[in-house]
Amino acid sequence: MTLPFAPPVAPMLAKLEHEIPLGEGWRFEPKWDGFRALVFRDGEGVHIQSRDGRGLERFFPELVPALAEAFPPDCVVDGEIILAGPEGLEFDQLQLRLHPAESRIRKLAAQIPASYVAFDLLAQDGVDLRAEPFDDRRARLGSMLGTEATEHLPVGETAVLLTPRTDDPEVAAAWFDSFERLGLDGVVAKRADQRYVPGKREMVKVKHRRTADCVVIGYRLSKTGDGVGSLLLGVYDDAGRLHFIGHTSAFRAAERREILERVRPLETTMEAALEAALGTLEGVDPARMAGGPSRWSRGHEAAFVPLEPVLVVEVTYDHLQGERFRHAAGFVRWRTDKAPRDCTFEQVQRRG
- Averaged pLDDT, 326-350: 83
Q: Which pLDDT score is estimated for 299?
A: 42
Q: Are residues 173 and 248 in the same domain?
A: no
Q: Above 80 in pLDDT, residue 258?
A: yes
Question: 297 lies in which domain range?
Answer: 210-349
CA pair distance 65, 160, nearest whole angstrom: 11
Distance CA 245, CA 237 (A): 11
Across the range 151-156, mean pLDDT stands at 87
Residue among 15, 31, 205, 207 flagged as catalytic? 31
Structural domain ending residue among the three candidates 207, 235, 263: 207
In a domain, 304, yes or no: yes
pLDDT in tens, 159-186: 999 999 999 999 999 999 888 888 888 9
Can you give the chain as a three-state secondary structure string? CCCCCCCCCCCCEEEECCCCCCCCCEEEEEECCCEEEEEEEECCEEEEEECCCCECCCCCCCHHHHHHHHCCCEEEEEEEEECEECCEECHHHHHCCCCCCHHHHHHHHHHCCCEEEEEEEEEECCEECCCCCHHHHHHHHHHHCCCECCCCCCECCCCEEECCCECCHHHHHHHHHHCHHHCCCEEEEEECCCCCCCCCEEEEEEECCEEEEEEEEEEEECCCCCCEEEEEEEEECCCCCEEEEEEECCCCHHHHHHHHHHHHHHECCHHHHHHHHHCCCCCCCHHHCCCCCCHHHCCCCCCCEEECCCCEEEEEECCEECCEECCCEEEEEECCCCCHHHCECHHHHCCC
Same domain, 189 and 241: no
pLDDT at 283: 32
- Per-residue pLDDT tens for 267-292? 988 777 777 765 432 333 443 343 34
Residues 6 or more apart whose Cβ sits within 8 Å of residue 332? 211, 313, 314, 315, 316
Residue 146 has pLDDT above 90, yes or no: no
Q: What is the mean pLDDT of residues 223-230?
A: 90
* 138 and 36, same domain (yes or no): yes
Final residue in a domain of this structure, among 207, 242, 269: 207
Predicted confidence band at 244 (pLDDT cuts at 50, 70, 90)? confident
Structure confidence at residue 118 (pLDDT): 97
- Do residues 272 and 266 touch, judged by C-beta distance below 8 A? no
153 and 262 belong to one structural domain: no
- CATH number of the domain encompassing residue 179: 3.30.470.30
Q: Give residue 69's pLDDT band: very low, low, confident or very high (50, 70, 90).
A: very high
Average pLDDT value for residue range 46-53: 95
* Mean pLDDT, range 187-209, rounded to an integer: 94
Residue 202 lies in a domain: yes
Burial-class residue 197 by CB neighbours within 10 Å (0-12, 13-18, 19+). Answer: middle
Closest to 7 (Cα-Cα) out of 44, 45, 55: 55
Q: What is the pTM of this model?
A: 0.73
Average pLDDT, integer, range 126-132 = 97
Same-domain pairing of 223 and 183: no
Q: Would 8 be classed as within a structural domain? A: no
- Residue 1: the pLDDT is 65
Mean pLDDT, rounded, for 198-205? 95
What pLDDT is recorded for position 281? 29
For a pLDDT cut of 90, what percent of the chain falls above it?
59
Sign of the C-alpha dihedral computed for residues 163, 169, 175 and 176 taken in this order? positive
Domain identity same for 198 and 233: no
Q: Which residue, of 207, 237, 254, is where some domain finishes?
A: 207
What pLDDT is attached to residue 291? 39
Determine the average pLDDT of the residues in 4-16. 95
What is residue 295's predicted lDDT score, i.e. its pLDDT?
32
Q: What is the mean pLDDT of the chain?
A: 87
When pLDDT is cut at 50, 70 and 90, the band that residue 352 belongs to is: very low
* pLDDT at residue 277, rounded to an integer: 66
Q: Looking at the structure, do residues 244 and 332 belong to the same domain, yes or no?
A: yes
More confident residue, 160 or 347: 160
Number of domains in the chain: 2
15 is catalytic: no
When pLDDT is cut at 50, 70 and 90, the band that residue 349 belongs to is: low
